[in-house]
Amino acid sequence: MDNKIMVPEPERMQALFREAAGSLTLGNNGHFSALRNEAMQTFSRLGYPNRRQEAWKYTDLEAALQVPYRIQLIPSEERADASKIFQCEIHNFETYLFSLLNGSYVWEHSPVSVLPDGTVVGSLRAAALQYPELFAHHYGKYADIRNGALEALNTAFAMDGIFIWVPDGVEVEKPIQMVNIVNLKENVFIQPRNLIIIGKNAKLTLVHCDDSVQHQKNFTNAVTEFIIGENSELDYYKLQNKDDDATLINNNYFHLSDYSRLTSNTLTYNGGLIRNESKVKIDGSGAEANLYGLYLMDRKQHVDNRVFVDHAKPHSVSNELYKGIIDDDASAAFYGHILVQRDAQQTNAYQNNRNITLTDRARVETNPFLEIYADDVKCSHGATVGQLDQDALFYLKSRGICDRNARMLLMYAFAAEIAGKITIPALRVRTEEMIEKRLKGELSICDQCVLHCKDQPEFRIDMSLV
Amino acid sequence: MLNIQDLHVQINGKEIIKGLHFSVNKGEVHAIMGPNGTGKSTLANVIAGKEQYEVTGGSITYKGLNLLDLAPEDRAREGIFLGFQYPVEIPGVSMTNFMRTAINEQRKYKGLPPMAAGDFLRYMKEKQQLVELQDKLSNRSVNEGFSGGEKKRNEIFQMAMLEPELAILDETDSGLDIDALKIVANGVNKLRRPDNATVVITHYQRLLDFIVPDFVHVLYEGRIVKSGGKELALELEEKGYEWIKGI
C-alpha cells in the first residue's frame, strides 16, 4: 500500500480505507481495528463538515478539500536527530525536543525514549506496542468519534504521532517541546494522532508547535487526547506559525481528574486556515482549567477557536480569555461553550473573548454560550469586537507619538496580556518578540516578502519595558 | 504665540464655539473661566487636535503656523501640551514606555538622537519629584488604577517631562483636595519660564490662588464675553456666573 496522491473526497477516502485495511495497524489487538471501523462508519455517514452546520458556519473547508494531496498512510521512517531538522528560535529555551515530520515521528536511536525521571516520550505507533494497557485504557476514549467527522477521519487513518506518559509522582524538570513540521515539496494531507497521559501527582509543561516550511498546500487534521490524573498539572502551550497555504485543524481533548490543573495557551501568529477545538471535560472536583488564546491574523487568513468546557463535577473552576487582532481581509471566529451539569455545584466559570478589528473588511464572529443546570454556580461571559480606543489613541498622539506607534503601543498592550500568562520566561520573551514582529508586519515579510519594511518607523519602541 | 480669530467649532452638527477670539504671548499665564457646557474643554481639545471636533470657521495660528493643518502629534512636537480633564487609562502600556516613546519621538522631530535608557530613567525620576509621584509610577500602566489626584499629578508630570511651550490645563483642579491642588499648582509654577505660556481652564477661582494668572477670561456660550486681570476672577467668584449672563 503506497501513499496516494488524490483529492480527499469522502468516497475516495472510504475506498482508500478499504484498500489499506490490511496495512493500517496500530498496536496488535482488536481494540484499534474495531475503533477504526467504527470511526470510518461515522465519517462515511457524516462526510466533511460544511458551512450549513452551525459549528462550521464561519469556517469553510471546501476550497482546501478540493486540492489533490499526498495522503500519508504509511509513516515514513524518519531517522534523524530532531534537533537537526528543527532549529527552535527561542533563545535559552531548554526543552526535551521531539518532532513529527509530515506526520511521522522523527527518531535517531529509538522510537521510544525514557527520560531520566521515567517519563516516556515516543512514536505513538511504537508506544502502542510497548504499552498496550495504557492504550487500551485511554486511546480513543475521549475524542468524539460518533459526532465529530474529522476526529473520526483521524481515528480511521491514525498511524503515528507523539506519545507521552508521565508516571505517577513525576514532575518533568524541563518543558517537553513537540514540533509538528510540514516540509514536503508537494501538497500533503496528514493526520497526526497524539496521546498525552499524565499520572497522579505529576506535572508536565508541554510546548506544542505547528510549523510549515514549504509553500505548498497542506492539510493537517490532528487529534490529541490529554489525560491529566489526580492532583496533576499540565501547562500547555500551542504555538502556530504556519504559512498562508496551510489548513490546520486541531482537535484537543482534555480530561481532568480531581484536583488537577490545566493551563492551555493557544498562540496563533500566522496560518491560512486554522481551527482549534479545545474540549475540556472536568471530570473531577477541585479541578481548575485556564484557557487562554491569542490570534493575530492578516491578509486573507482565518482562525476559528472553539472552546467547550464541560463541568461534570462540583467545586471546579474554569477561566477563558481569548484575544485577537484582525487586520486586512482576515477573519476570526470564537465559540465558547460552558456546560455546567446538574451535579457540578459551586462551579465558577468565566469566559471572555475580546477582538480588535483594524479594517472595516476584517470579520469577527464571537459566540459565547452558557448552559447551566446547577443552581449554585458563578458564571460569566463577555465578548467584544471593536476598534482601538480612540480616546486612548488621541491621548498618546497628544504627547507627540505618531499614529503608527500609538496604534502599535495599544495593540501590543492588548496582546501582551495573554503573553503575560506564560510562565516560562524564555517563551514569554520570545512570544512578546513574536507579537511585536507580527504587529509590525515583519513576520509577514519572512512569509510573503511583500516588503512591508518600507513603512517601518525608524524609531523602535522598546517593548521590553511595556 | 497663539492667536485665535473668530473660531467656530461644531461637534455632531451642534455649534459649541461661536466666534471666539483669544491670543496668548510668551511668558503669560491665562485663565479661562466659565460655567459648565460653554465650550472650555472644546477649545482645549480643538487646540490639541482632537479629530471629532469640526472647525467650521475662523483660524488658529501658533508660532506663525496654521495650527489646524497639523496632526495632533505634530502639534505636541511643536510644543503644545494638553493636560486632560479626564486622563485616559491605558492598560498594558507602562508609564516608562509611554514617556520614553513620546520623548524620543519629540527629540527625533527636533533632529536630536534618542535619549539613552539610563539618562531617561534619571530624568524621569527627577521630574516625578516635582509632583511628588513615587517611584512605583514607572512600572504602572498609564493612569490605570490611579486615584483622581494621581491622574492629575500624572498630567503635570508629563508636562514636566515634555517641557511644552504652550500648556493648556483643562480643569486640572477638578476633583483635587487642597493638598493635591497645592502640589499640582506648585508643579505648574516651577515650570513657568519667560519663553513658555500656560492657559488654565477652571470652573472655580480656588486654583487661581495658587497659580496666579496675568489675564482672566470668561467664556460663555461659545465666546469670550469678558477679559480682565486677576481681579476679574475674584469678582466672578463674588457675583457668580449669573452676573455674566446679564452682560
Residue of B137, B132, B31, B147 lying closest to B94 (CA atoms): B137
Give B103→chain A minimum CA distance, Å.
Answer: 8
Residue A253: predicted pLDDT: 98
d(CA B172, CA B166): 15
- 8 Å CB contact of B94 and A466: yes
Across A239-253, A254-268, A273-287, least confident range: A239-253
Residues of chain B with pLDDT under 70: 135-136, 247
Residue A84: predicted pLDDT: 67
- 8 Å CB contact of A394 and B76: no
| DSSP letter, residue A171 | B
Q: Is residue B51 part of a domain?
A: no
Q: Please check the confidence at residue A29 and state whether its pLDDT lies above 60.
A: yes
d(CA A138, CA A133): 9
Residue A463: predicted pLDDT: 43
| % chain A with pLDDT above 70 | 89
Residue B240: predicted pLDDT: 83
Rg (CA), chain B: 18
Most confident of A8-22, A96-110, A354-368: A354-368
Asked if residue B84 lies in contact with residue A395, where contact means CB atoms within 8 angstroms, the answer is yes
Which among A394, A405, A465 has the least Cβ separation from residue B105? A405
Cα angle for residues A346, A348, A354 (degrees, 5° grid):
165
Q: Which residue of B has its CA nearest to A457?
A: B105
Asked if residue B195 lies in contact with residue B220, where contact means CB atoms within 8 angstroms, the answer is no
Q: Is residue B62 part of a domain?
A: no
**Cα torsion through A145, A148, A153, A156, rounded to 10:** 0
Q: Please check the confidence at residue A394 and state whether its pLDDT lies above 70.
A: yes
What's the order of all strands across the beta sheet hosting B29-33? B80-83, B166-170, B197-202, B29-33, B215-220, B223-228
Q: Please check the confidence at residue A447 and state whether its pLDDT lies above 60.
A: no
ipTM of this complex prediction, to 2 decimal places:
0.96
Q: Which of A356, A388, A396, A399 to mutate to test the interface with B (most CBs of B within 10 A)?
A: A399
Q: Is residue B163 part of a domain?
A: yes
Give the A:B interface size as CB pairs under 8 Å.
100
pLDDT category at A452 given cuts 50, 70, 90 is very low
- 8 Å CB contact of A409 and B87: no
Q: Please check the confidence at residue A466 and state whether its pLDDT lies above 50.
A: no
Cβ contacts of A45 within 8 Å, gap of 6 or more: none
Condensed to tens digits (0 to 9), the pLDDT of residues A34-56 reads 899 999 999 999 999 999 999 99
d(CA A173, CA A203): 9
Most confident of A298-302, A343-347, B241-245: A343-347
Strands (E), A402-447: none
The domain that holds B203 is classified in CATH as: 3.40.50.300
**Rounded mean pLDDT of chain A?**
89
Give A402→chain B minimum CA distance, Å.
Answer: 6
Condensed to tens digits (0 to 9), the pLDDT of residues B77-102 reads 999 999 999 999 998 888 998 999 99
Residue A459: predicted pLDDT: 39
d(CA A206, CA A177): 6
Residue numbers in B near A294 (CB within 8 A): none
Domain that holds residue B177: 28-39+79-245
| Span A105-113, average pLDDT | 90
Give A436→chain B minimum CA distance, Å.
Answer: 14
Residue of A255, A237, A274 lying closest to A138 (CA atoms): A255
Which among A399, A462, A465 has the least Cβ separation from residue B102? A399
Q: Is residue B52 part of a domain?
A: no
Give B51→chain A minimum CA distance, Å.
Answer: 8
Domain count, chain B: 1
d(CA A98, CA A178): 5
In the three-class reduction of DSSP (H, G, I as helix; E, B as strand; rest coil), residue A30 is classed as: helix
d(CA B199, CA B24): 8
Q: Which of A323, A398, A421, A466 to mutate to test the interface with B (most CBs of B within 10 A)?
A: A398
* H helices, E strands: number in chain A: 10, 24
Residue found by looking up cell 491514525 in the block:
A158
Q: Which of B101, B139, B168 to mutate to test the interface with A (most CBs of A within 10 A)?
A: B101
Q: What values do phi and psi take at B125, rounded to 5?
A: -60, -45
Q: Which residue of B has its CA nearest to A402?
A: B73
Asked if residue A372 lies in contact with residue A393, where contact means CB atoms within 8 angstroms, the answer is no
pLDDT category at A465 given cuts 50, 70, 90 is very low
Residue numbers in B near A412 (CB within 8 A): 92-93
Q: Categorise residue B246: left if φ over 0, alpha if ψ from -120 to 50, beta otherwise.
A: alpha
Q: Please check the confidence at residue A239 and state whether its pLDDT lies above 50.
A: yes
Give B132→chain A minimum CA distance, Å.
Answer: 21
Rg (CA), chain A: 22
Q: Categorise residue A77: left if φ over 0, alpha if ψ from -120 to 50, beta otherwise.
A: beta
Three cell numbers, residue A310: 464541560
| Span A198-204, average pLDDT | 98
Across A89-103, A221-235, A288-302, A334-348, least confident range: A89-103
Q: Which chain B residues touch A if contact means CB-CB below 8 Å?
A: 48-52, 71-73, 75-77, 81-82, 84, 87-88, 90-94, 96-102, 104-106, 108-109, 114, 117, 141-142, 158, 162
Which among A398, A409, A462 has the least Cβ separation from residue B76? A398
Q: Which of B81, B85, B88 to mutate to test the interface with A (most CBs of A within 10 A)?
A: B88
Cβ atoms within 10 Å of B100's Cβ, excluding its own: 22
Beta bridge partners of B228: B216
| Span A155-177, average pLDDT | 95
In the three-class reduction of DSSP (H, G, I as helix; E, B as strand; rest coil), residue A440 is classed as: helix
Across A426-435, A454-463, B44-53, least confident range: A454-463
